[in-house]
């Protein structure tokens, strides 16, 4: 089907040249452009494959911008270790989860006690492993909690990893802990409380 369309395009171009009375000296230029396009299609295209609807690549889906904003309000935005997390986010958006993990590991080599990077590593590893809270991801979250036992971020994002793994009961415990650790005047406290409220509604509907 692809080659048929290519021939039709060529015929339409030829007809347009005649109808528009384009100078014959320019015909060779147009023909060269069409031949270049045909060569590119032959090299890159797959004319034998049937047509199909375009689908989004799930691996290229970035995190919800509201979650990135929440993370930055909880952990900081303009710090030395945040640059590694920003690079990891960019690689994850491009669908390269492995490089996203490596970017954070590179940061941890320089900042081994960064709660931001350990929390980010847990989140990124869970995504890399198919939204499953794998042992490496769990270890990263545990390390974040050991580094900063009174910080709400590791508990919140561990809860988010549980949500993505469909373990809502475990997520509820982590989000409740995150809310307890959040200071009263923190800008993100209301965000956590709202998400916990929605999760409680879901658990109630499920009879959990």
19-67 residue pLDDT tens: 555 455 454 555 555 554 554 444 444 444 444 444 433 333 345 788 8
Structure tokens, 58: 């799930």
Residues 6+ apart with CB under 8 A from 124: 88, 92, 97, 100, 101, 104
Percentage of the residues of the chain whose pLDDT score is greater than 70: 69
The mean pLDDT value for 186-195 works out to 95
pLDDT at 202: 92
What rounded mean pLDDT belongs to the chain? Answer: 80
pLDDT digits (tens, 9 = 90+) for 68-93: 899 999 999 888 999 999 999 999 98
Q: Among positive and negative, which fits the CA dihedral 108, 104, 177, 71?
A: positive
Q: Is the pLDDT of residue 8 over 60?
A: no
Contact 152, 179 (CB under 8 A): yes
pLDDT band at residue 175, thresholds of 50, 70 and 90? very high
Taking 70 as the threshold, does the pLDDT of residue 206 lie above it? yes
**pLDDT winner (highest mean) among 13-17, 46-50, 114-118, 202-206:** 114-118
Residues in the chain: 208
How far apart, in whole angstroms, are the C-alpha atoms of residue 149 and residue 106? 23
pTM over 0.75: no
């Amino acid at each position: 089907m692809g080659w048929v369309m290519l021939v039709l395009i060529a015929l339409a171009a030829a007809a347009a040249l005649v109808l528009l009375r384009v100078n014959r000296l320019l015909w060779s230029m147009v023909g060269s452009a069409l031949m270049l396009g045909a060569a590119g299609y032959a090299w890159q295209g797959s004319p034998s494959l049937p047509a199909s609807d375009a689908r989004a690549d799930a691996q290229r889906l970035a995190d919800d911008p509201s979650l990135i904003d929440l993370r930055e309000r909880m952990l900081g935005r303009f710090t030395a270790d945040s640059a590694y997390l920003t690079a990891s986010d960019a690689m994850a958006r491009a669908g390269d989860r492995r490089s996203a993990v490596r970017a954070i590991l590179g940061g941890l080599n320089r900042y081994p006690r960064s709660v931001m990077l350990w929390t980010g590593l847990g989140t990124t590893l869970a995504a890399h492993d198919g939204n499953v809270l794998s042992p490496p991801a769990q270890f990263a979250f545990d390390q974040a909690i050991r580094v900063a036992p009174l910080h709400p971020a590791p508990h919140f994002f561990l809860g988010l990893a549980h949500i993505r793994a469909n373990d809502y009961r475990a997520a509820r415990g982590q989000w409740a802990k995150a809310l307890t650790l959040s200071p009263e005047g923190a800008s993100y406290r209301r965000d956590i409380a709202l998400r916990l409220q929605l999760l409680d509604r879901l658990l109630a509907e499920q009879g959990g």
